[in-house]
A and B are shown apart, each in its own frame.
Chain A
Amino acid sequence: MQKINFILKAYYSILFFRDCKAGILLIALSFILPSVGFLGAVAILTTVAFAELIGIRDAYLKHGFYLYNSLLVGMGVGYYFQITAATIFLTAILAVLTFLLSFTLNRVFLKYYVPILSLPFAFVGMIFYLASLKYTNLLSNILYRKPLFDISLPFEPFFKSLGEIFFLPYNIAGLFIAILLFLYSRILFLMAILGFIVGVWVHTVFVPFNEAYYSPYNFNFILIAMSLGGFFLIANIRNYAIALISVVLSAVLIDSMEVFLNTYSLPVYTMPFNIITILILFLTVAIGYKYYNYYPKGTPEQSLSAFLARNYRFGGESIKINLPFTGTWSVYQAFEGEWTHKGAWKFAYDFVVKKDGKSYKNEGHFLEDYYAFGKDIVAPVNGYVTALRADLPDNFIGNVDRANNWGNYIIIQSDYGYFVEISHLMQESITVNVGDYVQVGQIIGKCGNSGYSPQPHIHIQVQKYAPLGSETIPFTFVDYIQGKRLFYYKLPKVNEEIKASAIDKSIKLHLTFILDDKFKYVDQNGKSYEITVKMNDIGEFYFSDGKNRLYFYLDSKLFYFYNYEGGESYLKELFKIAPKIPLIGVEVEYEDVLPIELRYGKFKTAVMEFLTTFNYKLYNKKSTYRKSRLELKSKYGTAGFSFYEKGFSYIKGKGFELRIES
């Protein structure tokens, strides 16, 4: 099965898909011109055989391009020659050569995190072309070749261009691919059309319309638009524009290559697509482009959905730290604060404790009058303590220590690499040593008034580098509570009062699911429904009811669902009812955004996904969730826990109710 899968992968990868069914359909399609279908298959099988011979199965299993480049070469041979012993042999030779070139090129490109696309095919294609000039004994069917059947369509050049991607420049192939594109991804479909139109239109500026419209290289426009407008970059207006600008650039490149290469009887093939796309990708990867698709999924729609979920549900790629204290504190200075958070140190937060609007009791003349003085400071991240100082005295009120601005401090290197610095700690209050590993929430010292501190407060900042006083970088807080509301990945404003959430480990016990845990429920009709905990081959855990899968993750402070596969089911409803469950015992209210595919039916989902690419705000539709100690409520229903048992003890939604069987 796995072997069949990677053979299919070669076919569907060419269209930027990730689905076996598409692969089967494309194989079938390729036999419309039998020599293309057959020699393509020969190329793949030879490549697999060679890779097995050397023993590098994993490499080609993981990366589709090891196979699809060979496949394209095989199809290319099939497009020019009939099936004979000699062409089969030639195909096999070229396939292995392609594989070798793919491997080497990939090794080089990998260094820059840029894919090789179909560059090996473009090179080997040239080799094949040049060599075949001498092989006069090979029978070219180029003049008589015909597909098994064809149809006539309007906008023929567009469909033929689509077909050309698979060396099948026929209406029937083009139509078939167009339908496939539309079914799998409206984004790719749109980009294919727009790429074609824009490419041809730009071309007409320089050449007569007919020459542009019927150019055999227009499929390059389509490939560029699809790869940049949806696959390698996250689908949105900005990237659509980048994709179409790239199409514009390629128009000139295609012409120049055509003139130059044809002089030497060389084909242009996908070379312009490869050059333009790789140039763009090189740039976007190098600058860490925000909308680069770092975690590609099955379709551009799915990649977009995952991207939006990361941003709107989980705070995106920003640095996230926990609050460095327990209890309720007020923001004294935020980013770019009016007193000291300036220049290189603008990304910092200061906190004090206030009661009735004042940070001190009595007259505030003594340190112990200040509510913050002596309060615990806890580790905001998991990591190693890299530096600290604890010997400086706490200034009496009205005095500051300008010589030692930072006062007593502690610097922790987070597991993710960045450094967190906390300042103005109480003299000799630090309870950890350099080299200690600290965990979120662990008490590491007490709030004091050392350094440049006019009153007892906590200063916290994130730095890229280790030394004290390094330049600061932006961050957000994982969560905080304001009144009854729980906020995620947000920054409080100056003078706002916020509360750190303490973890209730009993809720964690409820939600620590172990492989093969089974939960038997009875629904409102007395029918039983069983959920089992399972793991897939990349280590993701999910609930399974036999047919559908609901993926979950348990973080140190949060349990959440992040992916659903399947049709309508109680599991799908559970995702809506409890998308995020904070491991917090106190009553809180918070917002979450459900993925589009959960909110709507199939058709509306497709429409909304497509519209979202033009305006991300369409995704950001928040639902409010209210969690009390043992219950989670929202407009979608209620999920409940019992004090003693693991898992959900009941799940109530629209028109259904599951209760655990005791």
Chain B
Amino acid sequence: MKYQKPTINRVDFALASKYGSPLKSQKIKSSIDGVSVNELTKEFGSPLFVFSQKDIENKYNELYEAFSSRYPEVQFWWSYKTNYLDAICQVFHNLGSKAEVVSEFEYEKARRLGIEGKDIIFNGPYKPKEALKKAALEGAKIHIDHLYEINDLEDIADEIGKEIPVAIRCNMDTGIYPQWSRFGFNIDNGEAYNAIKRIYEGKKLILTGLHSHIGTFMLNSNAYAQEVKKLILLKNQVQEEFGYNIEYIDIGGGFASKNRLKGVYQAPEVIVPSADEYAEAITNAIFEFNKGNLPKLYLETGRALIDEAGYLLSSVFASKRMPDGKKSYIIDAGVNLLYTSFWYNFEILLDKRYEGINEPSQINGPLCMNIDIIAENIMLPPLDRQSVLTIWPAGAYSVTQAMQFIRYKPRIVLIDKNSKAHLIKDADDLEYIVEKEVVPQELKS
């Protein structure tokens, strides 16, 4: 064992922490799908985002089967904003997922991947008129967010000379806090009903679906039961009153992943509902309240499908001891890549077993910014320079929200089902970053 400067630690009298034995206190992950993390960083550099195709497919199949085994017509729509890397989208499309986009950029990206308009749900509060028109012409499923959009769409209907099938986005009280009431029309105060009446009286749009998204990281499956109940009751009502044939209800996304929210004491295994629990609550509510034909069930699950399939590998660059005695590690990935670390406590896994006892440590990123902290309080054994840490789960939002700030964005690889690593996005370089920059001529004196 290497010499370590002595430290003073609080003695933990409990035999074990809530879930761990004091005898085995190092969390170790030396490989992903059979590929060594050290080899991955050696081959592709560090830091490195790694996605596991196997994890994605297993998770998708688990969730899809939880719903499809209980309900006859289920369709998943891949939420592009969660992770719109081409390769990742392609994996989902190959699995049978269609596309859910919230901007013209995402719409174009889906079309570029060969997804037809009819297989795209166009959501979001900001849909420029040109984008709307294109979506309407291509038969995309447009989910209306506000009354202005109804006007815009009616103009477009006049322009293209045909009725446009639409859905509206609804919000409601499902007994959870915070209530997402920014998007769509409120069901509880009759706003949604009025919007549908408005659509009906306009005679240019035809309502075919109802959509809602109650929030994110929902830890209570009952909230979905409430959501579905309200959507279905609205569906029954508008079918009866306006004679609409509501083909589908879209219950959005928001299923939690196994990430550990800051401020939540319990482990994800304890509080995160299973796929079956979500599915049981949702399908039961449909069967309980639906009148007339069963609607198709659409889901826009993002986070729960991809979060646990993504890993961020990072290497220890340096360590120091801070004045309060805490060990501080500097690693090569920071909040520039993990914006999500502001609300998650990630699992930090070691590449191998290290000798020595655990001590309170802090993991800092490479940015010259005081806020660049990945883990503020973590018990770690003494790590070496170049030790590889696996930060998990890092599949959702991390790539789409990663910033090119101070440092280049790193490479991204996908490990296929035969344990072969494929580069799916190369690292930035200077040329790529300055490509769109223009320096006015007069400055170049």
Interface string of A441-466 (1 = CB under 8 A from B): 10100100000000000000000000
Q: How far is the CA of A585 from the CA of B72 in the complex (A)?
A: 7
Q: Does A404 count as interface, using CB distance less than 8 angstroms?
A: no
Contact between chains at A585 and B270 (CB < 8 Å): no
Interface string of A384-403 (1 = CB under 8 A from B): 00000000001011110000
Q: How far is the CA of A396 from the CA of B70 in the complex (A)?
A: 35
CB distance from A243 to the nearest CB of B (A): 50
Q: How far is the CA of A375 from the CA of B19 in the complex (A)?
A: 16
CB distance from A430 to the nearest CB of B (A): 13
CB distance from A483 to the nearest CB of B (A): 14
Which residues from chain A contact B58 at a C-beta distance below 8 Å? Answer: 355
Which residue of B16, B276, B280 contacts A396 across the interface (Cβ within 8 Å)? Answer: B16
Contact between chains at A397 and B276 (CB < 8 Å): no
Contact between chains at B24 and A397 (CB < 8 Å): yes
Contact between chains at A398 and B21 (CB < 8 Å): yes
Which residues from chain A contact B277 at a C-beta distance below 8 Å? Answer: 376, 443
Contact between chains at A505 and B276 (CB < 8 Å): no
Interface string of A583-612 (1 = CB under 8 A from B): 011100000000000000000000000000
Chain A interface, DSSP helix/strand/loop, else mixed: loop
Contact between chains at B294 and A502 (CB < 8 Å): no
Contact between chains at A366 and B72 (CB < 8 Å): no
Q: Does B73 count as interface, using CB distance less than 8 angstroms?
A: yes
Interface residues of A in 465-508 (CB under 8 A from B): 501-507
Which residues from chain B contact A504 at a C-beta distance below 8 Å? Answer: 69-72
Question: Given known contacts A374-B269, A376-B276, A586-B68, is B19 in contact with A394 (CB within 8 Å)?
Answer: yes
Contact between chains at A362 and B27 (CB < 8 Å): yes
Which residues from chain B contact A503 at a C-beta distance below 8 Å? Answer: 70
Q: How far is the CA of A653 from the CA of B70 in the complex (A)?
A: 29
Contact between chains at A585 and B69 (CB < 8 Å): yes
Q: Does A373 count as interface, using CB distance less than 8 angstroms?
A: yes
CB distance from B52 to the nearest CB of A (A): 12
Interface residues of B in 284-312 (CB under 8 A from A): 284, 287, 293-294
Contact between chains at A585 and B20 (CB < 8 Å): no
Which residue of B65, B287, B293, B349 contacts A644 across the interface (Cβ within 8 Å)? Answer: B293
Q: Does A363 count as interface, using CB distance less than 8 angstroms?
A: yes
Q: How far is the CA of A135 from the CA of B70 in the complex (A)?
A: 80
Which residues from chain A contact B267 at a C-beta distance below 8 Å? Answer: 368, 374
Which residues from chain A contact B268 at a C-beta distance below 8 Å? Answer: 368, 374
Q: Does A435 count as interface, using CB distance less than 8 angstroms?
A: no
Contact between chains at A367 and B19 (CB < 8 Å): yes
CB distance from A649 to the nearest CB of B (A): 13
Question: Given known contacts A326-B274, A502-B70, A503-B70, is B65 in contact with A586 (CB within 8 Å)?
Answer: yes
**Interface residue tally for chain B (C-beta within 8 Å):** 36
Interface residues of A in 414-444 (CB under 8 A from B): 426, 429, 441, 443
CB closest chain-B residue, reference A374: B269
Which residue of B270, B280, B349 contacts A443 across the interface (Cβ within 8 Å)? Answer: B280
Q: Does A509 count as interface, using CB distance less than 8 angstroms?
A: yes
Contact between chains at B23 and A374 (CB < 8 Å): no
Question: Given known contacts A394-B19, A504-B69, A585-B71, is B27 in contact with A375 (CB within 8 Å)?
Answer: no
Contact between chains at A584 and B294 (CB < 8 Å): no
Which residue of A355, A365, A501 contacts B24 across the interface (Cβ within 8 Å)? Answer: A365
- Report the contact-size class of chain A (Cβ under 8 Å from the partner): 35 or more
Q: How far is the CA of A447 from the CA of B20 in the complex (A)?
A: 17
Contact between chains at A362 and B28 (CB < 8 Å): yes
Q: Does B149 count as interface, using CB distance less than 8 angstroms?
A: no
Contact between chains at A326 and B276 (CB < 8 Å): yes
CB closest chain-B residue, reference A506: B72
CB closest chain-B residue, reference A376: B274
CB closest chain-B residue, reference A500: B276
Q: Does A298 count as interface, using CB distance less than 8 angstroms?
A: no
Q: How far is the CA of A491 from the CA of B267 in the complex (A)?
A: 34
Q: Does B104 count as interface, using CB distance less than 8 angstroms?
A: no
Contact between chains at A399 and B72 (CB < 8 Å): no
Q: Does B29 count as interface, using CB distance less than 8 angstroms?
A: yes
Contact between chains at A365 and B280 (CB < 8 Å): no
Which residues from chain A contact B274 at a C-beta distance below 8 Å? Answer: 326-327, 374-376
Which residue of B28, B62, B269, B280 contacts A363 across the interface (Cβ within 8 Å)? Answer: B28
Contact between chains at B294 and A644 (CB < 8 Å): yes
Which residue of A362, A366, A426 contacts B270 across the interface (Cβ within 8 Å)? Answer: A426
CB distance from B199 to the nearest CB of A (A): 25
Q: How far is the CA of A621 from the CA of B24 in the complex (A)?
A: 56
Interface string of B1-26 (1 = CB under 8 A from A): 00000000000000010011101101
Q: Does A643 count as interface, using CB distance less than 8 angstroms?
A: yes
Question: Given known contacts A362-B28, A376-B274, is B72 in contact with A629 (CB within 8 Å)?
Answer: yes
CB closest chain-A residue, reference B296: A643
Which residues from chain A contact B68 at a C-beta distance below 8 Å? Answer: 585-586
Which residues from chain A contact B279 at a C-beta distance below 8 Å? Answer: 502
Residue of A327, A397, A429, A502 with highest tally of chain B CB at under 10 A: A502
Question: Given known contacts A368-B267, A398-B24, is B287 in contact with A509 (CB within 8 Å)?
Answer: yes
CB closest chain-A residue, reference B25: A365
Interface residues of A in 349-365 (CB under 8 A from B): 355, 362-363, 365
CB closest chain-A residue, reference B390: A362
Interface residues of B in 31-64 (CB under 8 A from A): 58, 62
CB closest chain-B residue, reference A327: B276
Q: How far is the CA of A509 from the CA of B70 in the complex (A)?
A: 12
Q: How far is the CA of A394 from the CA of B19 in the complex (A)?
A: 7
Interface string of B110-151 (1 = CB under 8 A from A): 000000000000000000000000000000000000000000
Residue of A376, A585, A644 with highest tally of chain B CB at under 10 A: A585
Contact between chains at B280 and A441 (CB < 8 Å): yes
Contact between chains at B269 and A396 (CB < 8 Å): no
Q: Does B383 count as interface, using CB distance less than 8 angstroms?
A: no
Q: Does B283 count as interface, using CB distance less than 8 angstroms?
A: yes
Contact between chains at B72 and A365 (CB < 8 Å): no
Q: How far is the CA of A356 from the CA of B290 in the complex (A)?
A: 41
Contact between chains at B20 and A506 (CB < 8 Å): no
CB closest chain-B residue, reference A501: B69
Contact between chains at A396 and B71 (CB < 8 Å): no
Q: How far is the CA of A446 from the CA of B274 in the complex (A)?
A: 10
Which residues from chain B contact A443 at a C-beta distance below 8 Å? Answer: 276-277, 280
Interface string of A257-279 (1 = CB under 8 A from B): 00000000000000000000000
Contact between chains at A586 and B21 (CB < 8 Å): no
Which residues from chain B contact A426 at a C-beta distance below 8 Å? Answer: 270
Contact between chains at B73 and A643 (CB < 8 Å): yes
Residue of B16, B58, B268, B349 with highest tally of chain A CB at under 10 A: B16
Contact between chains at B29 and A362 (CB < 8 Å): yes
Q: Does B66 count as interface, using CB distance less than 8 angstroms?
A: yes
Contact between chains at B65 and A643 (CB < 8 Å): no
CB closest chain-B residue, reference A394: B19
Interface string of B70-83 (1 = CB under 8 A from A): 11110000000000
CB distance from B259 to the nearest CB of A (A): 12
CB closest chain-A residue, reference B347: A368
Which residue of B21, B24, B72 contacts A643 across the interface (Cβ within 8 Å)? Answer: B72
Q: How far is the CA of A373 from the CA of B270 in the complex (A)?
A: 8
Contact between chains at A505 and B270 (CB < 8 Å): no
Which residues from chain A contact B29 at a C-beta distance below 8 Å? Answer: 362
Contact between chains at A373 and B269 (CB < 8 Å): yes
Which residues from chain A contact B28 at a C-beta distance below 8 Å? Answer: 362-363, 365
Q: Pull 28 A–B residue pairs with CB atoms less than 8 Å apart, ordered by A.
A: A327-B62, A355-B58, A365-B24, A367-B19, A367-B20, A367-B269, A374-B268, A374-B269, A374-B272, A376-B277, A398-B24, A426-B270, A429-B270, A443-B276, A443-B277, A443-B280, A446-B270, A502-B70, A502-B280, A504-B69, A504-B70, A504-B72, A505-B284, A505-B287, A506-B287, A584-B69, A644-B293, A644-B294
Name 5 extra pairs, CB < 8 A, besides A396-B16, A441-B280, A443-B277: A365-B21, A504-B69, A585-B69, A586-B69, A643-B72
The 9 closest A-B pairs by CB, nearest first: A374-B269, A365-B24, A326-B276, A396-B21, A502-B69, A396-B16, A505-B287, A506-B72, A367-B19
Residues of A in contact with B (beta carbons under 8 Å apart): 326-327, 355, 362-363, 365-368, 373-376, 394, 396-399, 426, 429, 441, 443, 446, 501-507, 509, 584-586, 629-630, 643-644
